Amino acid sequence: MNQNQNKPSHTKPPAKLSVQRERKHPPRIRRREPHVDLAALLSIEHACGGCRKGEKCCCATYEVCVTAAEMKRIIRVLPDAAGLCLHLATDAGFDNVFEEAGPGLFAIDTTEDGLCLFAFVSRGRIRCSLHAAASAAGLPLELVKPKACLLWPMTFSEGEEVLSLTDDALSFSCNSKRVRRSHGLSPSLREAVRIVYGEDFGTALENEAEKLEG
C-alpha cells in the first residue's frame, strides 16, 4: 500500500468506542514459502493513493494485530509518527496505542470511528504515518510497517493455509477487477510479496503468474 508523505491536518481523535471489526493477525513467516491462490491475486489491480474521507478505508475496517517484535520497531519511530499524528504525543512522552490481544500479539488502538491511531489526513486523504515516517527516514517499510498492512489486500485463509485476497477487497476504491488478462501480478501486490517473503520468492511467484496467464 503505497503512501506519499504530505503536510498533515491535525485533529485530536475522540475517545474510542466499541467497534466491531475483522481482526488481522500478522502472517507467520515460516522457513517454507506460503501456498498462494494465484488466480485470486491475478484477478485485481491494487494502487493506493490514500483514501478520501467518507470512502471505505482499510485503516478503519480492520483491527490490526502486531507481534512483540513489530511493536518494538513501531515504538522506535513514534517521534516521527507523532509529527504527523499529534494525538500520539502526551506530556509524559507518547500515548500507549497497543492493547494485548493474545499471547505475543498486540492490537493497534483506534478512534471511536475505528480509524487506526497511526492514520492522518493530508489533502483530504487518509494516509499512514508509519509508512510516511519510514519513507522520510529512508528505512525499509518492513522495519516499520506491520506485515499485515504491507500485504493487504492479500490475507491468509482460515488457518493461515493459503495467501489469497480478503473477501471484501473489491469494496475498496483502491482495488479494481481486471477486465482483461495482464501478464503478472499488480505491481503493488508484487512489491508487497517481495518485501514480506523475499526477492527469491517474489521472483518465483511472478514467473508462475506469467505461466498461468500465458
Q: 96 or 66: which carries more pLDDT confidence? A: 66
The three three-digit cell numbers of residue 169, written as one number: 477487497
Q: Cell 512489491, residue?
A: 191
Q: Cell 500515548, residue?
A: 95
**One-letter amino acid identity for 173?**
S
Residue 195 has pLDDT above 50, yes or no: yes
Strand partners, 105: 67, 102
> How much is the pTM?
0.81
Q: 211 or 140: which carries more pLDDT confidence? A: 140
Residue 15 has pLDDT above 50, yes or no: no
Residue 158 has pLDDT above 90, yes or no: no
